[in-house]
Structure 1
Amino acid sequence: MQRNKLFRRLLLIMFILVLVSFYRLPYFVQKPGVARELQPMIEVEGGNTGEAGTFMLTTVQIGKANLYTYALAHFNKYEEILTTKDLRLEGESEEEYNVRQLYYMENSKHHAVQVAYEKANKEVRFDYKGVYVLKIVDGMPASKVLKAGDRIIKVDGHQFSASQEFIDYVGKKQADDIVRITFLRNDKEMTKEIAVAAFDDTSDKVGIGVQLVDDREMHTDPAIHVDTEGIGGPSAGLMFSLEIYNQLTEEDITHGYFIAGTGTISPNGEVGRIGGIDQKVVAAHRAGADLFFAPDDEIPDEWKDHPDVLTNYEEAKKTAEDIGTNMKIVPVKTFDDALLFLGSLDKNKS
């Protein structure tokens, strides 16, 4: 009898635990992710892969909160509770958010390849393919036809060499004019008619209601393959560029060190600010990194009235001190800054 009662209690506790783990709250929990070695993700044809150390990208992990993870996040200094507004742009759907993150990653790869190849005096060029749809404006005509992730290749039979030409062409139309949009969706070509409309009652500006960016195809010599499946966002740009450059050149610039870091990369090699750097420092420390490259950014004017806002480098250094890591935090403003620092390392490490 006593055993049956104990068994029922155990079943009830298990049921409650399962219920707690599956019940999702309208919040997200962001916490330290992982530091991933880049060499297995990047393959330059005929490239140098005999590095003694390694370059690593760092990530944050974002998941829908349940009662258990929501409670734990309140007690963990390096876990953060976020709302949908913290993650998405105004009016952005979950699908559009995912498309935007994947585009940012793709664009980040292109910038990293461009910076590394040009620095190594290797050939890189881009061909314009069309217009990539990032977001659809609610209530505008395109919302009935197009989806985020579509690639527009023609309008009224015309091809363009930049997305701005598309914007200028449609912007010269009148409200209620019809345009024929030829686009690719999952590699299938389709042509649909879409009406042009005013963006609001007080504006003369017209369009079909899409947020656009250029869709480009990259060509390099030597060829390169970068596998980023499952990773979104632009923050790995700097570390991509360093791994690619290391494979393009004879010298091993890691010198045997485990090197983690973060930061966007622009086509001219500037390193940009990213979010969640404290959590990425924790991830790098857990992976045993010797060095961590942090963007040495400047606080935007609109944030300077908030004394608690730190630069990425300041926040990374503060986190490193807080967790007691021996990992060195290195500030970088450009790709060349990172190369200059790596060139100063003790070659005996390798």
Structure 2
Amino acid sequence: MSRRAATLTLTSVLVLVFALVGSFMPVPYVALMPGPTSNTLGQNDKGQPLVKIDGREVYPVSGNLNFTTVTYRGGPGARIDLFTALRGWIDDDVAIVPEETIFPKKETQEQVDAENTRQMRDSQQNAEAAALTQLKVPISTQVLVDAVQKGKPADGKIKPADEIIAVDGAKVTSVAQVSELMAKRKIGDPVTITFKRGGAEQKITLTTVAVRPPGGAERAVVGIELSDQYKFPFKVDISVGDIGGPSAGLMFSLAIVDKLTPGSLTGGKFIAGTGTITPEGKVGPIGGIQQKMIAARQAGATVFLTPKDNCADAVDARPDGLRLVRADTLDGAIKSLESLNAGKNDLPACPAG
């Protein structure tokens, strides 16, 4: 055998061995890819309106206001192999990120999924609050029990989903008010909690115990975890299936505003976008902007609403044919869409990176 043939043979064997090893070698990385994109003005997989409003007049809508998602491969117990990671590093549509970016250390995949579900729930509530605030529709808040800590005074006496309405007779409508009242209680003090369960009002007196948060001072608690829940004057249902995370908030808000106001925000155009939303209408940054823009363009979008803190990365990765419009607030996003409909071009843009 000639030296050239021997070299080629050895190289082929080494490549084969590397391929075999690579296909079985798990690595602590996650592959992020463009995910499904759904029209918030359209229907979900079950043929029902993705955003459904009952108890209020709604108006016809047209065009698309699509939210975008990212899918992933990998994670604890299902790590990608070395070859998959290498292919992802050279694929412009895929981002390979360290595993802890998606799955924080000491958190299981089930815990991450549960947190994503909670974030989606909160995102939908914030989107409703932002939309109604934008439209100057009065809303109020209530305090709901999220969880009860085992072994603490409230364990077995107060339940998740109970509505806290008073602390020692003082009415409360926000978690901040409850925290302010509890901060005045000393360890061992009795506290009377008034709450509603199934529409019926109940009272219970509990004795506070001490907790010391990491790095914090000792304080008196009864062992309940609370969250603010908005009370809306009519019903808004947002049905997206098992999609999680907070990044569709802006697009949910726009869909609600569009359905509750005459005319069309899109003017029949295919608009997509992303961004978290606060109840006050402030748009926040998200992850996976590159994959979300690719998904939007592949679906047919020509305009992409982009949180300002994602602009630098978005400009560098913008697909051809997709116009980036910076979205700082819900109000600003609405004005941009109205300007688009009017044929104006002086829209807030993402600056070059």
Q: TM-score, normalised by structure 1?
A: 0.69
Identity of aligned residues (%): 26
Cα distance change on mapping 1:169 and 1:97 into 2, 3 Å: farther
Residue 260 in structure 1 maps to residue 262 in structure 2: no
Aligned 8 A contact 1:181 1:194 in 2: no
Provide Cα deviations, 1:121-154, integer angstroms capped at 9, x if missing partner: 4x34134042324x97xxx8559959xx944545
Partner of 1:162: 174
Q: Distance in 2 between matches of 1:209 and 1:278?
A: 45
Residue 296 in structure 1 maps to residue 285 in structure 2: no
Residue 126 in structure 1 maps to residue 112 in structure 2: no
TM-superposed CA distance for 1:47, in Å, is 1.6
Partner of 1:205: 218
Partner of 1:307: none
Q: TM-score, normalised by structure 2?
A: 0.68
Q: Distance in 2 between matches of 1:214 and 1:220?
A: 19
Secondary structure of 2:232 counterpart: strand
Q: How many positions carry a matched residue from both structures?
A: 302
Residue 114 in structure 1 maps to residue 129 in structure 2: yes
**Unaligned residue ranges in structure 1 (runs of 5+):** 1-16, 298-311
Q: Distance in 2 between matches of 1:156 and 1:116?
A: 31
Aligned 8 A contact 1:143 1:209 in 2: yes
Q: Which entry has the higher C-alpha Rg, 1 or 2?
A: 2
Cα distance change on mapping 1:47 and 1:27 into 2, 3 Å: same
Cα distance change on mapping 1:169 and 1:220 into 2, 3 Å: closer
1:1-350 alignment to 2 at 5 Å? 28-39=30-41, 40=43, 41-45=50-54, 46-51=57-62, 53-65=63-75, 66=78, 71-76=83-88, 77=91, 78-84=94-100, 86-88=102-104, 96-121=111-136, 123-133=137-147, 141=151, 150-151=160-161, 153=163, 160-172=172-184, 196-199=209-212, 204-207=217-220, 212-221=225-234, 223-297=235-309, 312-320=310-318, 324-346=319-341
Q: Distance in 1 between matches of 2:103 and 2:36?
A: 20
Cα distance change on mapping 1:144 and 1:237 into 2, 3 Å: same
> How large is the RMSD of aligned CA atoms in angstroms?
4.3
**Unaligned residue ranges in structure 2 (runs of 5+):** 1-19, 44-49, 344-353
Cα distance change on mapping 1:107 and 1:202 into 2, 3 Å: closer
Q: Distance in 1 between matches of 2:341 and 2:298?
A: 23
Cα distance change on mapping 1:179 and 1:114 into 2, 3 Å: closer
Aligned 8 A contact 2:281 2:330 in 1: yes
